[in-house]
Amino acid sequence: MSEREPDLDTLAPDSGVDESRRPSSANRNSESSGDVDADSDAAASDAPDTPGLHHLSVVSGDPYGTLTFYRDVLGLRLVKRTVNHDEPAVHHLYFGDAEATRGTTFTAFPYPLDPGGRRGAGQPSETAFAIPEGSREYWQERLASHGVEAEAGERFGERTLTVTDRDGLDLALIESAGAGVLGVDETPVDPWNESVPDEHAIRGIHSTTLRSNSPYVTGRVLELFGFGLVGQEGDRVRYVAGADGVETEGLDADTTDLAEAPTPGTVVDLYGREEPWGKEGAGTGHHVAVRMPDRAALDAWHDRLLDAGLSPSQPRERYYFDSVYVRDPGGVLFELATDGPGIDRDEPIEELGSELRLPPWLEADESMIRDQLPPLDEPVRYDDEEHDTDDIDDTAQGGKR
């Protein structure tokens, strides 16, 4: 499975299910629960629940535009300059906090000449970043000073700003009482304050929103990972890592403290409606990665996914972590990624992102790769060639976020 190239023909609702391993009808859950057997014997294995989100990845357009928006406008640190391991002529840019803390990472594959994608079913549609409480007004002024329109709102009791980046990707800044730690294990975040004051700087990933063509099935996959259904607001249904102890048979569910006040990096929202398929391209989400503590857990999860009736990839080395990919029957591409070895394995923390870094198996081709990579210090696609998402019909884009 390519890092970037999910075959849209494989996005049919049952495409991720290995028929030979599909649970028998007697063992299936109700039709509304889909074909994922979250209660299989394997679910009782030693595979641990995820402590939260590992990273989110998107497809963007111009590499220079991607770099300047996320570094200079949102104030994130560029923590890694590398390439798409499956397409070495394409940058892979990692952004995060001061120390590239696990769970803060947002990555982009920039394709400068890509005509733009279409948001819709089968995609992570929005990345939300956590900001400290009381920071919304600062960010409204900052974004306006950079010519970025932002809309204030509220979501599950938290104040929000929703914006789009220059490629039309949906983003949100969400004030969170828990900003400063991430995940069920409350990993501390070290904000990058080079251009944004420390008291307002982004504290990593808050949540992601998934658009599934089979929301009930994707919900079962989230439950398999250890996310629990905690509530609904309009079309948005919320799942929280570590909240799998809550009652999930109905939306009037009992809650735990974690469900009532989730830590950033533990939240996945799911649209509970059907909509047209999305099309991968600049300005669309690519995949969502959940954390695995180590390789043993990753291997256990590979087997667990098989036993649940899904078709995961074999474990792969991504140099900074090991991964397993699985596309759920609703079309969403999930990655399971280990916490280690870590983003700082080939450069010290203080120099993160300062140079192009390649995994050992690409070093022999370094000269050729450098020659083929688009520049990062000047645009390839100039302003009058930017993606104009206003021209894309709102219904075709999947409607409101």
Mind listing the pLDDT tens digit of every residue in the chain (401 residues)? 334 333 323 323 333 333 333 333 333 333 333 467 766 654 445 677 888 999 999 999 999 999 999 999 999 999 999 999 999 999 999 999 999 998 899 999 999 999 999 999 999 999 999 999 999 999 999 999 999 999 999 999 999 999 999 999 999 999 999 999 998 888 999 999 999 999 999 999 999 999 998 888 999 999 999 898 888 898 899 999 987 555 433 434 444 555 678 899 999 999 877 789 999 999 999 999 999 999 999 999 999 999 999 999 999 999 999 999 999 999 999 999 999 999 999 999 999 999 999 999 999 999 999 999 999 999 987 655 555 444 334 433 333 44
What gap in Å lies between CA 90 and CA 230, rounded to an integer?
A: 39
- In eight-state DSSP terms, residue 300 is H
- In eight-state DSSP terms, residue 367 is H
Q: Encode burial over 145-155: b for 16+ CB neighbours within 10 A, e otherwise.
A: eeebebeeeeb
What angle (nearest 5°) sits at the alpha carbon of residue 61, between those of residues 351 and 101? 35
What gap in Å lies between CA 54 and CA 340, rounded to an integer?
A: 11
Contact 275, 398 (CB under 8 A): yes
Expressed in percent and rounded to 5, the helix, strand and coil fractions of the chain are 20, 30, 50
| β-bridge pairing 321-327 and 316-317 | antiparallel
On whether the pTM is more than 0.95, the answer is no
What gap in Å lies between CA 300 and CA 280, rounded to an integer?
A: 30
What gap in Å lies between CA 50 and CA 76, rounded to an integer?
A: 25
